Amino acid sequence: MMRKSLARAGAAAIVLALSTTALAACTPGEGAESGEPTNITMLVLGDKPTNGRLEAMLEKLNVKLEAEANANLDLFYVEWADWQTQYNTQLLSGDDDIDLITTATDWLFAWENAEKGAFLPLSEEMLQEYAPKTWEQVDAEGHWDLTKLDDGQIYFIPEDNFTQYTNHGFFYRGDWATAAGIPDGTITKFEEFTTYFSWVKQNQPEAYPWDVSGAKDAALIGYLQGHTDGQTIQQISAGNYYPFQTTESDPYTVTSWYMEGDELLEAAELAKEWNEIGVWREDALNYDGDTREEFYAGLSGADQHHTQTFIGSIVDNMTKKQPGSDPKFFYFGQENGNFFNDILTHGAMAVNATSKSPEKALEVYDIIRNDEEAYRLLNWGIEGTDYVITEDGKLGFPEGYDSSTDALGSNFWAGRMDDFELDRVTDAPNKQEIYDELAAAAKDYEYSTLVVNKDLIDPTLAAMGGVLSEYIPQLQYGKFDDPAAAIAEMRQKLEDAGYEDARTAIQTDMDAWADERGLK
């Protein structure tokens, strides 16, 4: 008796509590055009700056936004610590305070999140009405197709008018490479790093040849890219790994370089050799120091990231902090031309599915992307205090500016425009040469419009991600006594996880996609 009525009372209390919160959430969000300005919150990646410069900039920017769209902009940061989790759980939470979401198909799980319903589908009419300039520019270049799922709807706006190369590779020191006897101090083949690393190990006792931390796969990917014609399908990730490829020679057949061929074993054997030389810390998997700073401090012989980092900060920092170090960049796939131009959705902006004012959000986006004054404010800050334009028209910084403490940190990476960009004083002097060289050899990523239906293979991909996260880091650090046996074991486990089913499912989508375009 009592238990029943108690339960009923409890249930009533819960319902009451729930409905009050629900009601509280229903406060009017729509600011009428003439009324209060609407607050638009944009999710960006990065550590929230605390030097006050961001707030000062937003204050100025908001005066403009208020006048032009009766809206205010605020930024919400997903900080770098555990950013993958934070990003995905933030989207999962359906927080309706967020309106615009920075995303990317190759590093911010845009396809997964679009499929899971985190983003609002954007109708053409809506884009034409509220983001007309953006619509026109993206449409003129025919890039909307890059942002559609198999339901034919647009889910995000690509940062498609911004030149950058985010192909990865090794940064190393030309002075040390020369001393190691490498001709011209320039490494042209992946295996040449063995010579370089050995020299560093023997002659620079303070430094690790390549100080690297955490579960990485760069050494394997670098080898695979340079020794196969495998082309990774970026739409399909399994955990942090991208296990499905096509090959240039057979571009419409789905395969995996983790499953097929001997190259993975070769890569693993090279990694084992490097591990025995002592290229990285024995306990790299448990180490979590800042290895880039080690490189700047002359305590690491190499560092690994992409072209943009090399041009934007490595050259500048190394020239200042290690004079004469002659920083150089070897990019993966350099020896066989197996690397790609950036996909146009390496940065993209989505509208939150639960946003209370999606139209207003698009209006604001259209301004910060297409209005030069707003663009400069958001990206560079206030002229004179955050940046200066030098006499030769470059973007520079005021006297006494220290990028490590004074950075604006607005991190708007989802709508930058070449038209408004300037060369920076900190750019590598040979930036254009590097770009030209890359542009001449880089391949275009062919599969941007391929949409893979992952509903049925999601659990399989998750299981594969689990297997890969166990084996790949250990292979990359050369930790298995018998890499061949470990690879055989991994392949068996991937088979058990359902690799073949997943591959077949992706192949079906690939066939349909290729047929549609008359490619096969």
Tokens 């729509």, located at residue: 30
281 near another protein, rule: CB under 8 A: yes
- Find the part of the chain contacting another protein (CB under 8 A) among 185-193, 276-284, 329-337, 389-397: 276-284
- Whichever of 82 and 373 has its CB closer to another protein, that residue is 82
- Whichever of 353 and 368 has its CB closer to another protein, that residue is 353
Minimum distance between the CB of residue 284 and another protein, rounded to whole angstroms? Answer: 9
238 near another protein, rule: CB under 8 A: yes
- Find the part of the chain contacting another protein (CB under 8 A) among 30-38, 173-181, 311-319, 469-477: 469-477
Tokens of 306: 């992409």
- Buried b / exposed e along 106-143 (16+ C-beta atoms within 10 A): bbbbbbbbbbeebbbbbeeebbeebbeebbebbeeeeb
Beta-sheet pairing, 38-45 with 71-78: parallel
- Find the part of the chain contacting another protein (CB under 8 A) among 233-241, 397-405, 422-430, 512-520: 233-241
- Find the part of the chain contacting another protein (CB under 8 A) among 69-77, 128-136, 280-288, 408-416: 280-288
- Buried b / exposed e along 405-431 (16+ C-beta atoms within 10 A): ebbbbbbbbbbbbeebbeebebbbeeb
Say what angle helices 218-227 and 263-277 make with each other, to 10 degrees.
130
148 near another protein, rule: CB under 8 A: no
- Whichever of 497 and 510 has its CB closer to another protein, that residue is 497
Minimum distance between the CB of residue 120 and another protein, rounded to whole angstroms? Answer: 10
Cα–Cα distance measured from residue 235 to residue 502, given in angstroms and rounded to the nearest whole number: 13
Q: Name residues whose C-beta falls within 8 Å of residue 206's C-beta, 6 or more positions apart in sequence.
A: 298, 299
3-state secondary structure (DSSP) of residue 302: strand
Answer whether 207's CB lies under 8 Å from 344's CB: no
284-323 positions binding another protein, by CB under 8 A: 285-288
Tokens 């080898």, located at residue: 223
- Whichever of 109 and 258 has its CB closer to another protein, that residue is 109
82-111 positions binding another protein, by CB under 8 A: 82, 84-85, 88-89, 91-92, 94, 109
214 near another protein, rule: CB under 8 A: yes
The correct pick among 222, 301, 381, 473 for binding another protein (CB under 8 A) is: 473
Beta-sheet pairing, 100-103 with 168-173: unpaired
What mask of x and - would describe binding to another protein in positions 398 to 437, judged by CB under 8 A?
A: ----------------------------------------
- For 340-366, the DSSP string reads BPPPTTSSEEEEBTT-S-HHHHHHHHH
Q: Which residues bind another protein (CB under 8 A)?
A: 2-3, 5-6, 10, 14, 82, 84-85, 88-89, 91-92, 94, 109, 112-113, 115-118, 214-215, 238-240, 281-283, 285-288, 353, 455, 458-460, 462-463, 465-467, 469-471, 473-474, 479, 493, 496-498
